[in-house]
Amino acid sequence: MRTTKTVSISMPPAQLKEAERLAKKENRTMSELFREAFRRYQEQDAVRRVQLERLRAVLEETRAEAERNGASALTADDIADEIKAYRREKRQRAR
């Protein structure tokens, strides 16, 4: 019994030519090349998901910290003013 299925994909001719060149260079079949490309895509997608979850956790912790110290009440203008003041102070110290 066959353990694989055949699929058909469409590619621009230039991209197909490049894929064929790469497969030949690496002594792979086109099927092997595309299977490897899909595996790498899956791995990168998994990494991106983990990174996104970490980012969400950091964001939630940052929001909680802002609530605890009252920074959540700051407006965008307040934050911009704080940044300007910090940069001005930094420039003066550098002189």
3-state secondary structure 23-88: HHHCCCCHHHHHHHHHHHHHHHHHHHHHHHHHHHHHHHHHHHHHHHHCHHHCCHHHHHHHHHHHHH
**pLDDT value, residue 60:** 96
**pLDDT value, residue 2:** 80
Distance CA 71, CA 26 (A): 56
> Does pLDDT of 94 surpass 90?
no
**pLDDT value, residue 90:** 92
> Does pLDDT of 11 surpass 90?
yes
Q: What is the pLDDT of residues 31-78, one digit of tens each?
A: 999 999 999 999 999 999 999 999 999 999 999 998 998 888 888 999
**pLDDT value, residue 83:** 94
Between 88 and 95, the more confident residue is 88
Q: 74: which residues sit within 8 A by CB, 6+ positions away? A: 82
Q: 63: which residues sit within 8 A by CB, 6+ positions away? A: 72
Report residue 52 as tokens.
Answer: 């996104």
